[in-house]
Amino acid sequence: MLLALETATDVCSVAFCDDSGTIHERRTEQHGSHSEQLFLFIEELQEQHNFSIPDLDAVLVSEGPGSYTGLRISASAVKGLLFQVDTSLYGINTLASFAMQAMENSLATQTIHSIIDARRVHVYHQKFTADEGLHAADDVEIIPIETLESMVQKDDIIVGTGLNRINEEACKKAITFGPKVITAKSLIALYQDGFSAFVKKVEPESFEPKYYTSNQGS
């Protein structure tokens, strides 16, 4: 059994995979809702499906990049949930989870640009290829939006937040997936499908999300 937490953007999603492999989710897309909704969603899933944290095989957490506040809330949550509990914790690349969801929503083999709005004129960005699995084509960076626009080729996929800030020409070239596809279920998919490059076991007490600051921008 698995529990997954996604709070890197305005989306707050908690997903539970039961013993049969069925995934159940609680999700909202509302700015500033994480502190109120995260534990509520966890409790609702526990009550509905009758499990406790020690029953789980692992807890999965979206580790960033993304909202500093959202990432801090989930980091604090897993430290509390796993205090003096033997359940394993895995941190998962947020942008890879977006790409995983885009790959599952598209039949073609394509280049995927995973992005998160980084305010001002930047986005968090990582490029992936979907060819017999998911592969990172570069590292996570903060790049100017105009740099992303120049990178997009015909039939590339752009997935994530901040799509409304990308110019019309780039969007017309690409297949786009917005915040509606962001879900903790994709963390479970990455974990179960063995994409170890994006999934790292971490110690709960020392876990820190991967923050990226504006001075890391290109």
* Residue ranges of the chain whose pLDDT lies below 50: 217-218
pLDDT computed for residue 91 by the predictor:
98
Structural domains of the chain, with CATH: 2-93+182-212 (3.30.420.40), 95-181 (3.30.420.40)
Alpha-carbon gap, residue 183 to 71, rounded angstroms: 14
What pLDDT score was predicted for residue 218?
A: 43
β-pair partners for 4: 15, 60
- Write down the pLDDT at residue 28: 97
Check: CB of residue 92 under 8 Å from CB of residue 108.
no
**Res 214: pLDDT:** 54
pLDDT of residue 31: 86
Q: For position 213, what pLDDT does the model report?
A: 65
- At residue 20, the 3 state secondary structure works out as coil
Q: Are 212 and 140 in contact (CB under 8 A)?
A: yes
- The answer to whether 97 touches 74, Cβ cutoff 8 Å, is no
* Per-residue model confidence as pLDDT tens digits over 187-210: 999 999 988 899 999 999 999 999
CA 186 to chain centre: 7
So what's the pLDDT on residue 43?
A: 98
Q: How far is CA 121 from the centre of its chain?
A: 22
